[in-house]
Amino acid sequence: MSLFGYLAVLAGAALVLFAGLAFVFVNRVLGRAPTPTSEAVGSSATVFRKLRKGEPLSQEESDFAAQAVADRGSLLAFSIPAAIFSLGCVFLFGGLEVHGPHSLRPYIGVGPMFGATNMTIRLLRIAALKKRLRAVA
């Protein structure tokens, strides 16, 4: 087995770990009772837009924003993009091990890696709203 094979095995182990953590996080979030604000379509985007612009929030929106910022800023929330990134690494390194660097097939794994990076940046942007939430509340 070459270096790519070992990296694929390491990425597979990371994938199992992060997928387990993501499972725990999603079950924890789904176990909560839904609020009327969280049930409305597009409510999180509306509340985050108000929070970014410094517009006043109702008490219900403020509670929802506090919960959403806490959820999306927790370390367990980052296990979801980490699992997706690890999946891309498994596909990339496994494909390089099997097909070699002369095939374009392994590089399809770069797509989930870009998606996971985008998701991580979005989670970080929402976690940065914690300071604005304290100022509004």
Residue carrying the six token digits 């985008």: 118
Burial class (CB in 10 A: 0-12, 13-18, 19+), 93: buried
| Residue 85 belongs to domain spanning | 3-134
- What mean pLDDT is predicted for residues 49-72? 89
Share of the chain above pLDDT 90, in %: 53
Is residue 80 within 8 A of residue 22, CB to CB? The reply is: yes
Share of the chain above pLDDT 70, in %: 99
Structural domain count of the chain: 1
The answer, yes or no, to whether residue 48 has pLDDT greater than 80, is yes
Q: How confident is the model at residue 11 (pLDDT cuts 50, 70, 90)?
A: very high
The H or E element spanning position 6 is helix 3-30
The answer, yes or no, to whether residue 136 has pLDDT greater than 80, is no
* Most confident range, picked from 11-20, 38-47, 90-99, 119-128: 11-20
Q: How confident is the model at residue 89 (pLDDT cuts 50, 70, 90)?
A: very high
Burial class (CB in 10 A: 0-12, 13-18, 19+), 130: middle
